[in-house]
Structure 1
Amino acid sequence: MKESFNSTLLASLLGAGIAFSSIANANNDDPIKLGLMLPYSGTYTALGEAITNGLKLAIKEQGGQLGGREIEYVQLDSEANPSKAPQNMSRLVKGDNVDFVIGPVHSGVAMGMLRVAKQTGALTIIPNAGLEAATNQLCMPNVFRTSHSMWQDSYPMGKVAYDQGHRNVVTITWDYAGGKEDVAGFEEAFTEAGGEVTKRILVPFPSTEFQSYLTQIASLKPDAVYTFFAGGGGVDFVRDYSAAGLKESIPLLGSGFLTEGNLQALGEAGEGVMTTLHYADTLESEANRKFVSAYQEAYGELPDTYAVHGYDTGMMLAQALYAVKGDTENREALIEALSNVHLNSPRGPMTFSESHHPIQNVYLREIRDGKHEVVDVAYEQLEVPDDACKM
């Protein structure tokens, strides 16, 4: 099924007269060029660096080669700026003649990249941006995702909340696409189970003035609150929620990005907060123990989800390029090899759906003593329903 699907999609692009990037003309004795279009400045710098570190660690473990060929990195700062995305993507594909583009972090940047990916056929691997459309409405054979969608990490929490005895909840997020996609996933599963969403609160983006909303939540007295905020906004919300005295009486649930990378900043306010995400550095598996140890040795810090995204991108490339013996000229074979990758990832087993989205476990995590402890597998091998993928 997957073989015929990918062959059909590739044929459709070829039939449409799309000019593939310079990969088709590459000499297999030349280095493989990896174009990294990630944020290396600004708010998302740490995410871009973690993805890059994970990627380079994976390739280092392969002896610095992929499919027997040396690697050349071309790093370009996306600045998390959507308006520059088409120009930056074109520069990597047409100017630097990269073999693969890896990026971005920001979903708005991904939209601009995808337009160029469609025009050029450039092989693109998304190691973070969670916009649903990338592997749904805008899916294409030359685009893969090694991260997640907003829905995939939030949907499992809906059933978890119901199973915990919560029957009415309030949801709260920023009024922007990513937050609303995340909350919608939770609401879908929670209402399917029989729960009721008492109110959805939308906060103007990127405001972190939460006090009036917390007062409103206190007056509604829901069984629990589900939220999506991230970065500094996530820290502010969790701290304010605790300071308002709500945490003890109204459990706080969220997507994993509420607390990911923020444990130290959250301190005591984060204790007991439960989230769902496709990774935790405390996962008990041999693959994760080895990864955490190697990452700490290489970079002097614990890895996070973003580092795993980069690492799995590198391992995906390693497996696919080994299968095709480093040949990047046969595009159909290379896309087929990428599609059929099976990873024993630090996050657990991972394969790819026909829309090239990862099929992976989602874990229920609770902050205990300043760590994300894995409570359970919230959903085993969850596949995203990319029904609009009609390539």
Structure 2
Amino acid sequence: MSDRKTLLRVTRRGLLSGAAGAATLAVAPRLMTPAIAQAAPFKVGLMLPYTGTFAKLGQFIDDGFRLYVEQKGGKLGGREISFVQIDDESKPEAATDNVNRLIGRDKVDLVVGTVHSGVAMAMVKVARDTNTLLIIPNAGANDATGPACAPNIFRSSFSNWQTTYPAGKVMVDAGLKNVVTITWRYTAGQEMIGAFAENFTKNGGKIVEQLTLPFPEVEFQALITQIASLKPDAVFSFFAGGGAVKFVKDYAAAGLNKTIPLYGAGFLTDGTLEAQGAAANGIRTTLHYADNLDNPANIAFLKAFKAKTSKDGDIYAVQGYDAAAMLDVGLTAVKGDASARDTLVKAIAAAKIDSPRGPLSFNKAHNPVQNIYLREVRNGRNELVSIAQADVDDPARGCKLT
């Protein structure tokens, strides 16, 4: 990691000694004149996993965000952008202290985070309590743009419901009517499987068995053996990061990829294909991105991301990139004056972004409205099969903004 990305590590002693003070600072009003605010950089707090199961995902979000800012000459809406970075380690128990540190001690103007849904919901609570701008660049917990929605909270990513709901009809239409589901036993897994099951059963499908294991456990063998004995038409799964790599390899090693088609949320194969290798071939997933989307924005993005990182861009990088594009819309609307908060927020809410993923806009809960694609792993890429459902709009159940 480069010098400019010094990783802020939070020790247990530091958290215990500083949490009360940080929390107090987090809710204190800022006394800053517009002139001073204009002169100072707009400070973005990146609270992402840089170690652990989701480390690669966090780094790609970070790289995508910084790429957009670099393409704009280091400024958005004419305002210089600076960064503070903290490793959330995908630990919900540390999330409140971490985000309070960014807001209270580091005085960030915007928090961008995170990947893990449990961590994200702790961030949402603090953002609501302190009225801090928050853009969620991955975690899909439905509540963030459902019952916990707020004017200052946006996503550049998805809701868990949104990514897998279209898959239910896709699989029934393919003649796969008896399905086993498998996931980790935590928020993201439960909500993604739940959305799939909602549409799958509505269209006449039957869930034969719902298999789960604790996050982030990766001992899949007993469950794979159970799948083999159940002989379903197909399996629908949600895993991500290192766990997705292990599951796909174990599934193929057991020979099930030849007899029981594997489907899943797109995170099963996004950011993991290189490590999964041939074991991933033929897996079909639904997501708001495909590697070979043939639009000018995606072609330009992939070229620029490769030049910056020497790596192939994916949805995590796109979500980071689009989070910066959203901020750009807001700061441009206020000519860099972030004190014009209401105008900034309204501009982001009304934004229509030409994203690498395709058309991107936002509903009243500030969740993206976007296409969900059916993809298949071919030649080491998640290649487009079809649009599973166009302009998917999360129902934002429980959101009082709608």
TM-score (norm 2): 0.89
User: What SS does structure 1 have at the residue aligned with 2:40?
Assistant: coil
Output the CA distance in 1 between the equivalents of 2:150 and 2:140.
16
1:339–1:25: structure 2 CA closer, same or farther, 3 Å change rule? farther
Q: Does 1:247 align with 2:250?
A: no
Residue 274 of structure 1: how far off its partner (Å): 0.4
User: What SS does structure 1 have at the residue aligned with 2:301?
Assistant: helix
User: What SS does structure 2 have at the residue aligned with 1:84?
Assistant: helix
Cα displacement string for residues 50-70 of structure 1 (whole angstroms, at most 9, x for unaligned residues): 111111111111121111111
Output the CA distance in 2 between the equivalents of 1:219 and 1:255.
23
Cα displacement string for residues 104-147 of structure 1 (whole angstroms, at most 9, x for unaligned residues): 22212112212211111001111111111111011111111111
After superposition, the CA RMSD in angstroms is: 1.7
Residue 25 of structure 1: how far off its partner (Å): 5.0
1:215 matched to which residue of 2? 225
Give the counterpart of 2:30 among 8, 14, 22: 22
Residue 37 of structure 1: how far off its partner (Å): 1.3
Q: Where do 1:370-389 residues align within 5 Å?
A: 370-389=380-399
Deviates more, 1:347-356 or 1:279-288: 279-288
User: What SS does structure 1 have at the residue aligned with 2:47?
Assistant: strand
Deviates more, 1:299-308 or 1:213-222: 213-222
Output the CA distance in 2 between the equivalents of 1:278 and 1:24.
40
User: What SS does structure 2 have at the residue aligned with 1:349?
Assistant: strand
Output the CA distance in 1 between the equivalents of 2:154 and 2:194.
23
Q: Which amino acid aligns with 1:117?
A: A
1:142 matched to which residue of 2? 152
Q: Does 1:160 align with 2:173?
A: no
Output the CA distance in 2 between the equivalents of 1:128 and 1:238.
22
1:175 matched to which residue of 2? 185
1:377–1:211: structure 2 CA closer, same or farther, 3 Å change rule? same
Q: Does 1:367 align with 2:391?
A: no
User: What SS does structure 1 have at the residue aligned with 2:317?
Assistant: helix
Output the CA distance in 2 between the equivalents of 1:205 and 1:91.
26
1:4 matched to which residue of 2? none
Residue 245 of structure 1: how far off its partner (Å): 2.1
Give the counterpart of 1:110 among 120, 124, 130: 120
Output the CA distance in 1 between the equivalents of 2:45 and 2:395.
29
Residue 206 of structure 1: how far off its partner (Å): 2.9
Q: Which amino acid aligns with 2:245?
A: V
**Which consecutive segments of 4 or more residues in structure 1 shift more than 6 A?**
none
Gaps of at least 5 residues in structure 1 are 1-17
Gaps of at least 5 residues in structure 2 are 1-25
Residue 49 of structure 1: how far off its partner (Å): 1.5
1:85 matched to which residue of 2? 95
Output the CA distance in 2 between the equivalents of 1:25 and 1:147.
34
Q: Does 1:206 align with 2:233?
A: no
Give the counterpart of 2:305 among 295, 302, 317: 295
Contact residue 28 and residue 69 of structure 1 kept, 8 A = yes
Residue 219 of structure 1: how far off its partner (Å): 2.3
Output the CA distance in 1 between the equivalents of 2:246 and 2:274.
13
Contact residue 23 and residue 329 of structure 1 kept, 8 A = no
1:354 matched to which residue of 2? 364
Deviates more, 1:300-309 or 1:79-88: 79-88
Q: Which amino acid aligns with 2:70?
A: K
Residue 182 of structure 1: how far off its partner (Å): 0.9
Residue 148 of structure 1: how far off its partner (Å): 1.2
User: What SS does structure 1 have at the residue aligned with 2:257?
Assistant: coil
User: What SS does structure 2 have at the residue aligned with 1:247?
Assistant: helix
Output the CA distance in 2 between the equivalents of 1:171 and 1:61.
42
TM-score (norm 1): 0.91
